[in-house]
Amino acid sequence: MSRVHRAGDPSVASTRAEGPLVEKIEPVAGARAGPGAFVMSCAGLGGERIVNRRGEVLGSLEHVMLDVRSGRIAYAVLSRGGVFGLGAKLFAVPWSALTLDAPRQCFVLGVERERLERAPGFDRDHWPAMADESWASAVHDYYGATPYWKRAPSR
């Protein structure tokens, strides 16, 4: 592990072991506190592995989709297959269906690989209408997740 200062933010130093998921933010003496280990840039999460509970790699995190009106994270877009991103199948996964596993530097999705392969997916040129409540409800049902718009906002 190396100790570095974040670019553009001299108030925090980070201890990093290969990825943003295990980054531990420590305040520099006399400086304001940094964002913390569980507040991260969406850009920093791109490409992180998504595994199931068995540890099988299901794919990687392609995008984090925001519901701009509510200010909530709506979906993770999981990318599976393809070569260098070409021909990959994309899956919208409810954000609440993922669990951060910082020690293993990945997210965990509680589905078997076969179930994910049967999930409704899409390709880069044919995205679903993610704001369509009937589509969104079906996606949340598939993963056994309560739709984010039906949950009370966390404080």
Residues 6 or more apart from 64 whose CB is under 8 A from it?
42, 45, 73, 75, 76, 77, 95
pTM above 0.85, yes or no: no
Select the more confidently predicted residue: 95 or 86.
95
Residues 6 or more apart from 35 whose CB is under 8 A from it?
12, 25
Contact at 8 Å (CB) between 92 and 125?
no
- What single-letter amino acid sits at 35? P
Looking at residue 105, its pLDDT comes to 87
Contact at 8 Å (CB) between 107 and 126?
no
How do residues 108-137 score in pLDDT, each as one tens digit?
A: 999 999 999 999 899 889 999 988 999 999
Looking at residue 119, its pLDDT comes to 94
How do residues 20-63 score in pLDDT, each as one tens digit?
A: 444 443 444 444 555 555 666 777 677 789 999 999 999 999 99
- Sheet containing strand 9-16, edge to edge, reads 2-6, 9-16, 24-27
